[in-house]
Every structure is written in structure tokens, then in C-alpha cells.
Amino acid sequence: MASSKLLCLILGLVYLNVVNAVGSNTNETEAIQFLNDYNIKGMEESYITTEYAWTYNTNITDFNQQAMINRNLVQAAFNQEARANASEFDSTNFSPDTIRQLGVLLYIGDSALPNDKYEELNGVTASMETRYATGKVCDEEGKNCQSLEPDLTRTMATSRDYLELFNAWDGWRAAVGAPAREDYIRYIVLKNEAAVANDQTDCGAWWRSWYEVDDLPGDVQKLFAQLEPLYKNLHAYVRRKLYNVYGEKYINLRGPIPAHLLGNMWAQSWSNLQDLTQPFPDKPSVDITPVLVEKKYDALRMFQTSDEFFTSLGLIAMPQPFWDKSMIEKPTDGREVVCHASAWDFSNQIDFRIKQCTDITMDDFITIHHEMGHIEYDLQYKNQPLVFRGGANPGFHEAVGDVLALSVATPKHLKAVGLLDEVVDDLEADLNFLMSMALDKIAFLPFGYLMDEYRWSLFDGSTPHDKMNEKWWELRTKYQGITPPVKRTEADFDPAAKYHIPADVPYIRYFVSFVIQFQFHEALCKAANQTDEPLYKCDIYQSKEAGLLLSNMLSLGSSKPWPEAMEQITGQREMDAGPLVEYFKPLTDWLIEQNTQNNEELGWPESTWMPDAPPSGGSTMVFCNTLLIAVMSLVTFLFVTKL
């Protein structure tokens, strides 16, 4: 659970000014005492609520789901009372810190709904998340069932069989996508009602308000426009490599790429195509998956290796409760769990955990650093008031682990920790490394950008309910240059096959983080006195100077507007794609040269093209999940007004 607090300072100030007009308590000493009391009680309430959520996420049962919903109602009542008490103060002459804290308490998100609708929203969201977490793809006889983690994920990562990939891709969407459609329509209505109760026009506006900027869509659009040429050159190069494997029947060199061929269930990362795309196959690869297996790494050792990187910078080690209570492997006792990796702050300044069904791969090795970055951020700001225990903006929280992973992924660092035998210091080896990074970082950019553009259009009504799947593929083709491998209709609801959609997790934070992590990396490399090499070679491992610079920013939490946090670490106050462009410049130049030599078409002018039907004419897999049926029966009974 990425721990980002919902922060609406501007709205808080407006609300407090309105309160001023009717006359309120102007005693700042009393306001500070109220905030102190809230902090103590708020930690207690939040801890209990988080425990219920953890129990459900690590043991999905009807009982645990309903217990979590009931507890959320108690938390909502507490939030409503805190807002009412905060609204009694006239903060005109209060200190900026007191004004900021009171402003946060005035906007309470979904808790602002009436109890019946808040309970319904919790039920709808839990229903979608349960469906996602327990979904399986089975054969036509209802046997040989496969879960997303690790089964389908491994298939997407390793198979080059067109039909096998199609069956996994299509089967997963049949299992968890289409059945979520009606739930999601109701979710949109309820989330918009909650946003209005927080003085916003719709939920998209509410989510954007957390960034405290005038025009977030405009800001990210400018960043994406700056980065789009990098993506289109990578896309053209990868499309040619896939053409060499699958031929013209399934790849059009002037069209979008079939979504199931890119090594990932959502085509958001192309890292699993490294074997097909490595610029110089005779030079070493930085894929350490075989080494992790050979050296008998398990999940615990991977987490310990990550922890050692953080402490080498002088940052805070994971506390003992982290090791005692985290779920770092998929349980083998028959429990259904939410496998999607997440970091949890239990708000009591002691208990921090990660939930991850770890596989022994380089991808998961990097994911561990990402999730532990969340925990490190939580640890650094744990002494802030509860309302300030969040990232400077949501993208900051996502960037922290990733910025350290930029060092961890370097050949220099992997050799230092015994996961790479040699570092070949020449341009060809460098291009191999940069390609491995681009398949993750550059390939992700349009996906990270479009996810919330899509949802914003649902929330503001510009995409009607009878066009939800059509709009999804319109944006995925427009920005990513991918196409579904088979015709989709409004009977499908493919967005719900991605965790963050049914789980109610905003996504533009990831696009933001993929930009600012390179700004952070550049600043930390300067602090570590590593400016004599290209940015992509920098490894800040063991630099206490870099660790101190990072720690000083992290400890602020959300107590200051994010431009102040940005300035503290980078010396500038704006998001800037320049460092990302610089990092990948040698690869970009090489890709341009390759694409020019091959007369590649940048982009996908034949955007409506689709591949031929798979050899069998369709999927041979069907959805099979008896637990889902039981859960949905319960939801139907409890929330009959919706259904």
C-alpha cells in the first residue's frame, strides 16, 4: 500500500476562510492541542484499520472482507468527527504549519459519503479486488487452473508461443475484466459523490488536487511530449525484432504491436524481451535471474540484500517488526492472498510491512527495492504529525525505491554484491545495459500516462459507460502503439485486468515518479561525487553524503509543498525530463541510427490494423473460480440496491 496522504491544502485554506466569515475559535493554542490529541488518537484508529485491511489482503475470506468493511465504517466516523472539529477554528492568524494541518483534516475522501453509500463503495471495491486476487484461468474442463502470480506472469515472461500467450492474455481478461464492468460503473458514481462532498467536481479532480498545482494534466502532457520520441524509437526497434520472430501475419511494421507479445500481461514493461532485443548479443547481459537461482537466493536473502543497500547510505534499517510480520512469499497453506506487491505503514511508528509473492527473478529483485523505498520513506517521516506522513506528492513516494534501483541495476553495483562476474567497460556493453533499462523505464511511460487520463474521462463523463472499453483501447493504441490480439467489445472490460483499476489506486503518480527519479538520481550522484562518468553508470552505494541528502528530503513527509521538497534535493522546483533524456542519450542515438538504416516507420500510421486470429481461432481457456462465486453471492446479498 503506497502510503500517500490525501493532501488538499488549497481547498483547506478556502474552507477555513469560509469558516472565518461565520465566526470560529481563533485560539491557536487550542488548535494545536486539538491537533496533538488528534495525532495520538488518529494513530490508534489508523493502526486498527490497517490491521483489518492486512488481515483481508493476506487471507481473503468472506468474513475478513466484511470485517474490513465494518472497520472502515468506524474509521470514516472518526474522520468525519475530526473534520467537524477542525472546521471550528478560524486560522487567519495561525502559523503556516497549523493552517496546513487543519487544512488536511477538512478533506477526508471517501469517508465524506453517508454511511450507507460509504459501505456500498467499500463493498464494490472489495468485490473487484477479491475477483482480481482470486481469479484463475483454467482449461475447458475447469482443470489445470493458473493464477496470475506466478503462473500466468511466468508464461507471459518466457513463452514465445503465439497461441499460448494469447490464451493467457485473453483468459485473464475473461476471468477478471468483463465480470467487473457493472461494479465499476457503480464505483464511478460513488467516487464522484465522495469527490463532491470534498468540494471537487469529480473524482479525477479530487485525485489531481493532491499535487497542489494549477494544471497537472498540462504539466504531465508537456513531459510526455518531451519523452515521446524516445518511446517511438524504442517501439520501432522492438516491433522489428518481434517481426523477425512472428512474421507479417502477426506483426505489421507500420502498425501497433499485439499487446500479448511484449512479455508482460499489460504490456507496461518489455523487460522480458531482453533476449530478443539486446543490441550486442556477444557482450554480457545484466539479467541476473540465472545468477540469483544459481546462488540459491530466496526471498529473505533478496530482501536482506536490499536492506543492506539502504543502510550503506546511512539510512534507517528495516525494524524487527518488518522481518517478523511481512509476507514476502506466497503462502503455501491454501490461503488466497492479494499478491500485488505493496508496502504498509501501520501508523504507530513501529510497525511497517511489505506484502509480496516474491519470485526469484531480477524483476522482483528490483521490485523489492521499490517497495522497501516506500518503507524507508515511511520510517524517515514517522515522527511527523500523522497528517504529514505521506510523500511530498504521490509521485515522490513511488520514486524513492526506484531511484536507488537505478544504482542497484548497474553492472558496477551488481558486481560489487557478487551478482555479476565482470563489468565490460565499452560502449557496446553500455548499450546492452541501457536497452535493459529502456525496456522497463521508457516502455512504461505511455502506459503510466494514459491510465489516469482514461479514468479522468470516466469520472468527468466525457467517456460514457457504453464506451468504456472502446476508450481504453483508443488510448492504448494512441499512446502505446499496441492493439488487442482479438476484437474487443463493450462486453469486455479490459481495464479491470490491471490491479490498480479495481483496487482504486490512482496511477499518474507512477508516470511522475519515472520522471523525477532521474532528477533525484542526478542530484544524489553529484552528492556522491560521481560526476566523472555518465549518469547511467552512477552507483551511490555506500555514499553517506547521498544518503544524507535523500534523508533530509524524506523526513519532510508532506509537511511542505512538493516544490520545496524537490528544491531541497535537486535545487530546482519543477519536474524536469532532462535528466531522463540525458541518461538514455547513447541508446537513443543508437536506436535512431538503427531505425534509419532499416527504414523503420516511427509510430503506427496503420493504427486500425489487427493481427490474424490465433491458430485455434480463440482462447481454449475459461474462467474457473468457486471462491469468487461464493464472494459474489455474499456481495449480491449485502448490496442488492446496486445490483
248 is catalytic: no
Residue in 76, 341, 497, 565 annotated catalytic: 341
Grid cell digits, residue 443: 516502455
Question: Per-residue DSSP letters for 476-500?
Answer: IIIII-EE-SS---TT--GGGGSTT
Q: Which residue of the set 235, 260, 369, 370 is catalytic?
A: 370
Judging by DSSP bridges, how do beta strands 257-258 and 482-483 pair with one another? Answer: parallel
Candidates 460, 485, 486, 490; CA nearest to 472 is 490
> What are the two backbone dihedrals, phi and then psi, of residue 303, each rounded to the nearest 5 degrees?
-65, -40
Cβ proximity of 381 and 347 under 8 Å: no
Find all residues with CB under 8 Å of 168, minimum gap 6, and list them: 137, 146, 152, 155, 156, 159, 260, 265, 621
In the numeric block, the cell 520513506 is attached to 377
The answer to whether residue 341 is catalytic is yes
Q: Which of 510, 536, 541, 583 is catalytic?
A: 510
Task: Give the count of beta carbons closer than 10 Å to the beta carbon of residue 585.
Answer: 15
Residue 574 annotated as catalytic = no
Is 369 tagged catalytic? no
Question: Is 370 an annotated catalytic residue?
Answer: yes
Q: Which of 260, 369, 374, 413 is catalytic?
A: 374
The answer to whether 309 and 3 are in contact (CB under 8 A) is no
Half-sphere exposure of 643 (CA within 13 A, CB side): 14
CA pair distance 366, 373, nearest whole angstrom: 11
Name the residue type at position 218: G
Which of 212, 371, 522, 600 is the catalytic position? 371
The active-site residue out of 235, 260, 340, 413 is 340
Taking alpha carbons only, the member of 292, 509, 540, 502 closest to residue 405 is 540
Residue 397 designated active-site: no
Establish whether 500 is a catalytic residue.
yes
Task: Exactly one of 398, 453, 522, 600 is catalytic; name it.
Answer: 398
Active site residue: 500, 567, 582, 630, which one?
A: 500
- The DSSP output letter for 460 is T
Query: Is 260 one of the annotated active-site residues of the chain?
Result: no
Within 8 A by CB and 6+ apart from 213, the residues are 219
Cell of 220: 504531465
**Strands (DSSP E) along 17-67, which ranges?**
none
Instruction: Report the catalytic residues.
Output: 340-341, 370-371, 374, 398, 500, 510
